[in-house]
């Protein structure tokens, strides 16, 4: 072995890992927290929490039982348990286990994939509006960030995305998309794979896939294509606070993201995830619950002439016809915390599908806020005590003051 080369490689990897360690991972909970802190210190008791795309059902009963029984083992790392989870998932998907890397949620592999495949010479291409986390990672790698508007049907405009930069490193396709809950077809994903620049990857984020009719892309991984698929237990499985997810890709692609570090997994999350995978009716049952509540909410919005984008997931966008940030503040004043605004659509806000009773409270507050004159809610936002005396500890972890105030 060439010692210089291996030394250089080692220090290169170490530097990459150090840079990654020093870099905050900004993701859904921090973005939701940032918005909340602009208008309130925290959730008040009894708050309706439909601002962070969480699943109010939480982990399934089997997962809760297995976690309770495992609590006394909490002093152990238990790598074997993690391997069993990887093997179980790989078995279900018909993959070899080396195509699956476990992480404490999908935020880490999302961040690391962007760090690994973008640079100041290789841009990050994403949809607009789209999930923001990858853009924060791209800022770290120094990559140019190219935002491509969604197509008319709110799918990813893959032709425009691929045309956007012949030197792109990552094309991020969130399928279904956060925040719109809209899907991108299999044909479009295949087209993007066939036409993307050499050396680039598609990063297909399937965080919300179980809620929808979208075709999963894992078989394209199996066919050794240039893509990494992200999966999480945070959404339909209701395990956001427990932390478990996967990066799924060809081993040579996964090796590149592994250089940013692999921590040991939280064993309760691993056990809960393994147990959840063994309940075949879990996904269809939860999907039906979410779909029914979402569709009833859509019927109510339609009946009351509110404009929204039909979604297939546990979140959707509604047009307020006024600055969305004012509506968010006015809703919070009624103890209903709704999701954020995307700069490209400043009058739209994102709503997460909560429980039936939460959505009833949402409807009542929404009607009151929307029937008040547009100017009525503005002073609420201006008067936010948090903004007036913003200190470093008010900022969500890793967020800069300017980003927070934007």
Provide, rounded to whole angstroms, the least separation between the CB of residue 335 and ligand PLP.
23
Counting contacts by CB under 6 A, is residue 217 touching ligand PLP? Answer: no
**Does residue 220 bind ligand PLP (CB under 6 A)?**
no
Q: Does 226 bind ligand PLP (CB under 6 A)?
A: no
Q: Which long-range contacts (CB under 8 A, 24 or more apart) does 100-103 make?
A: 100/246, 100/247, 100/248, 101/246, 101/247, 101/248, 101/249, 101/254, 101/257, 101/258, 101/262, 102/244, 102/245, 102/246, 102/265, 102/270, 103/244, 103/245, 103/246, 103/247, 103/262, 103/265
Q: Is 260 in the site for ligand PLP (CB under 6 A)?
A: no
* 123 vs 234, beta carbon nearer ligand PLP: 234
Nearer to ligand PLP, 211 or 362 (CB): 211
Identity of the residue, 234 or 380, whose beta carbon is nearer to ligand PLP in the bound complex: 234
Kindly state whether residue 240 participates in binding ligand PLP, applying the rule CB under 6 A. yes
By CB under 6 A, is residue 28 in contact with ligand PLP? yes
# of chain residues touching ligand PLP (CB under 6 A): 16
Stretch that binds ligand PLP, among 103-111, 148-156, 273-281, 384-392 (CB under 6 A): 103-111
Taking the complex as a whole, the smallest distance from the CB of residue 31 to ligand PLP amounts, in Å, to: 9
Choose between 99 and 103: whose C-beta lies nearer to ligand PLP: 103
Residues 6+ away with beta carbon under 8 Å from 355: 56, 293
When the beta carbons of 247 and 332 are compared against ligand PLP, the nearer one is 247
Instruction: Give, as ranges, the residues between 143 and 182 that touch ligand PLP (CB under 6 A).
Output: 174, 178
User: Is residue 205 at the binding interface for ligand PLP, with CB under 6 A as the rule?
Assistant: yes
In this chain, which of 26, 101, 110, 273 binds ligand PLP, going by CB under 6 A? 110
Asked if 317 is part of the footprint of ligand PLP (rule: CB under 6 A), the reply reads no
**Least spacing, CB of residue 105 vs ligand PLP, in Å:** 3
Beta carbon nearer to ligand PLP, 228 or 330? 228
Distance of CA 7 to the CA centre of its chain: 37
Q: Considering only residues 107, 118, 155, 314, which one is a binding residue for ligand PLP as defined by CB under 6 A?
A: 107
Point out which span in 16-24, 77-85, 101-109, 317-325 binds ligand PLP (CB under 6 A): 101-109
Cβ atoms of 125 and 171 within 8 Å: the answer is yes
Please tell me whether residue 118 binds ligand PLP under the rule CB under 6 A: no
Q: What angle separates helix 3-22 from helix 107-117, to the nearest 10 degrees?
A: 130
**Chosen residue from 118, 141, 232, 275 binding ligand PLP by CB under 6 A:** 232
Determine the angle formed by the axes of helices 61-70 and 267-277, rounding to 10 degrees.
140
CB 233 within 8 A of CB 244: yes
With binding defined as CB under 6 A, does residue 216 bind ligand PLP? no
User: Of these, 207, 349, 351, 370, which contacts ligand PLP (CB under 6 A)?
Assistant: 207
Residues 39-78, mask of contacts with ligand PLP (x by CB under 6 A): --------------x-------------------------
Report the residue from 117, 124, 131, 136 that binds ligand PLP according to the rule CB under 6 A: 131
For ligand PLP, give the closer residue by CB, 179 or 324: 179
Site for ligand PLP contains 188 (CB under 6 A):
no
Q: Which is nearer to ligand PLP, 216 or 377 (CB)?
A: 216
Nearer to ligand PLP by Cβ, of 273 and 370: the residue is: 273
CA distances from 309 to 139, 191, 312, 405 (A): 30, 25, 10, 27
315-319 sheet: strands from edge to edge: 307-308, 315-319, 348-352
List interacting residues with ligand PLP (CB under 6 A).
Answer: 27-28, 53, 105-107, 110, 131, 174, 178, 205, 207, 232, 234, 240, 245
């Amino acid at each position: 072995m060439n010692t210089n080369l291996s030394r250089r490689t080692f220090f290169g990897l170490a530097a990459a890992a150090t840079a990654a360690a020093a870099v905050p991972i900004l993701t859904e909970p921090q973005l939701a927290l940032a918005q909340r802190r602009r208008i309130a210190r925290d959730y008040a008791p009894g708050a309706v929490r439909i601002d962070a795309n969480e699943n109010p059902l939480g982990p399934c009963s089997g997962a809760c039982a297995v976690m309770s029984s495992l609590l006394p083992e909490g002093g152990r790392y238990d790598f074997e348990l993690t391997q069993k989870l990887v093997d179980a998932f790989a078995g279900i998907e018909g993959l070899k286990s080396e195509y699956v890397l476990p992480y404490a949620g999908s935020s880490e592999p999302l961040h690391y994939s962007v760090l690994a495949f973008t640079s100041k010479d290789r841009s990050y291409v994403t949809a607009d509006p789209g999930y923001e986390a990858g853009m924060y990672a791209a800022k770290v790698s120094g990559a140019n960030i190219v935002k491509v508007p969604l197509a008319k049907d709110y799918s990813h405009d893959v032709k425009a995305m691929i045309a956007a930069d012949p030197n792109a490193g990552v094309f991020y396709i969130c399928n279904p998309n956060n925040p719109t809950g809209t899907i991108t077809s299999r044909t479009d994903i295949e087209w993007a794979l066939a036409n993307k620049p050499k050396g680039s990857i598609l990063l297909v984020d399937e965080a919300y896939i179980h809620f929808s009719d979208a075709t999963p892309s894992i078989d394209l991984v199996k066919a050794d294509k240039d893509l990494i698929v992200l999966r999480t237990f945070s959404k339909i499985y209701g395990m956001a606070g427990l932390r478990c997810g996967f990066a799924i890709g060809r081993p040579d692609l996964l090796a590149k993201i592994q250089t940013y570090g692999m921590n040991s997994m939280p064993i309760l999350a691993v056990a809960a995830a393994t147990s959840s995978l063994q309940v075949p009716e879990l996904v269809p049952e939860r999907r039906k619950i979410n779909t029914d509540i979402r569709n009833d909410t859509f019927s109510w919005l339609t009946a009351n002439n509110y404009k929204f984008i039909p979604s297939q997931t546990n979140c959707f966008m509604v047009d307020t016809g006024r600055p969305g940030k004012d509506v968010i503040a006015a809703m919070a004043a009624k103890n209903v915390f709704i999701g954020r605004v995307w700069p490209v659509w400043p009058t739209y806000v994102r709503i997460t599908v909560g429980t039936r009773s939460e959505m009833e409270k949402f409807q009542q507050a929404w009607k009151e806020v929307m029937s008040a004159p547009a100017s009525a809610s503005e002073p609420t936002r201006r008067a936010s005590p948090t903004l007036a005396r913003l200190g470093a500890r008010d900022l969500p972890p890793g967020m800069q003051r300017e980003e927070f105030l934007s």
